[in-house]
Structure 1
Amino acid sequence: MYNKASQKLWIEFIKEPIFDEQQVFTGFLIILNDVSVRKVSETEAAKQLVSLKKMSFIASHEIRHEFSKIMQVTQTIKLQKPDIQVYQQLLAEIEKSTDKMNAAIYELNNQINFATSNSISLDAYLHQEIEEIVLIDDDGLINEMNKVVIRSVFPDMPVKVFNEVDYAISHINAHPFTRRKIIVDLNFPHKSGWHFLDEYQKLDQPWSVVVLTSSLQQEDIERSKGYRFVTHFMTKPLNQTQLKGLRILASKKLRVA
């Protein structure tokens, strides 16, 4: 139905039977209500929901990825034990600011996805004695900083770094009996971390995988649960507390890489 200005109208149609005093049907009462405003509101609400989901993606992927870099830079510098007091104080202030921003992004994402966590255990994590840690991330700077964090907790642990999925798979194929923990990012410009998980699944290896990403998307968390070997979903930046929580047992046969 359209009004005089040729604008489309949403009409609610109500049809009620009418009976006389002897309960004999005499006709219908027809009521037409203009509900165009309500329908427009519902349409706008749907559009807003799409926008909110886009905001969630931006907050959890793009913005937080950059802030996770800043957070890890400050953490790495602190691990180098700078001896300039003012410099340390500035770093502390920067870290406070990034922590607040990180918390705000979590809150924004929670409002849309209802629940998320920065460290979610997806399965019981076994005490496994390992010989190496494999890092897979296309960002070279992140890889180097992650190595610093790992060495601060496990100083004698060999760390193998790969910025492409295919190279990591080739290494694992070439050394199938090496006991290892694998830490992989999800977001790559070409073959993603999901591609790695699919390929690794075909190898039927017993060694578990930790997803380490800047993503806070609930969809990514749920999808990760579909891989039996993925035991943890952690958000960047990698820190000492996260590593200690993985319960990695270093092999006595380890040599410094």
Structure 2
Amino acid sequence: MKVLMIDDNELDLLISRKLISKQVTSLEFTEFTDASQALFYLQELQENEFDIILLDLNMPDMNGWDFLDEYQKLDAHKANVYILTSSLDTRDKLRSREYEVVKGYFDKPLKSNYIAEIINSQQVY
């Protein structure tokens, strides 16, 4: 499985990758600290190569919502998006349900039960 992680905090990316790798060793990671760069990368692919996207919401320039709006417009097969955020705004969780590609909403920091839920849901598809 291939995982795309988008978070402006490099430490959060490192921690998430290490925690996920402890539980599931067969994953390949691609990371971006800028959502617009990640979107450009996805637009350049002939077809989506990712199974999972872990997405932060609160980022400068292009935030997670902006990314989702543009990602939905891509013609390629869509990966399952899991929001991983430090946002305390309960409206964000409700808003995430408006996006068909969003399969989960988790609070930071990433926890082992979140990882298990994400991986188990992937095996259903």
- TM-score, with length taken from structure 1: 0.44
1:221 aligned to 71, 76, 93, which one?
A: 93
1:190 aligned to 50, 55, 61, which one?
A: 61
> Any gaps of 5 or more consecutive residues in structure 1?
1-130, 250-257
Alpha-carbon distance between aligned partners in 2 of 1:177 and 1:138, rounded to the nearest angstrom: 22
Alpha carbon RMSD of aligned pairs, Å? 1.4
Alpha-carbon distance between aligned partners in 2 of 1:177 and 1:139, rounded to the nearest angstrom: 24
User: Is residue 7–residue 55 contact of structure 2 (8 Å, CA) maintained in 1?
Assistant: yes
Deviations for 1:185-221, whole angstroms, at most 9, x for unmatched residues? 0001221111111110111433211011011312111
Deviations for 1:129-160, whole angstroms, at most 9, x for unmatched residues? xx310100000111111110111111121111
Higher RCO, 1 vs 2 (CA within 8 Å, ≥6 residues apart): 2
Which structure shows the bigger proportion of residues in helix conformation? 1
- TM-score, with length taken from structure 2: 0.87
Deviations for 1:213-238, whole angstroms, at most 9, x for unmatched residues? 01131211111111111111100001
Match of 1:190, SS?
Answer: coil
2:33 aligned to 137, 157, 163, which one?
A: 163
Show the 5 A alignment for 1:62-81.
none
Tell me which amino acid in the other structure corresponds to 2:61. H
Tell me which structure has the larger Cα radius of gyration: 1
Question: How many aligned residue pairs are there?
Answer: 119
> Any gaps of 5 or more consecutive residues in structure 2?
none
Alpha-carbon distance between aligned partners in 2 of 1:216 and 1:238, rounded to the nearest angstrom: 15
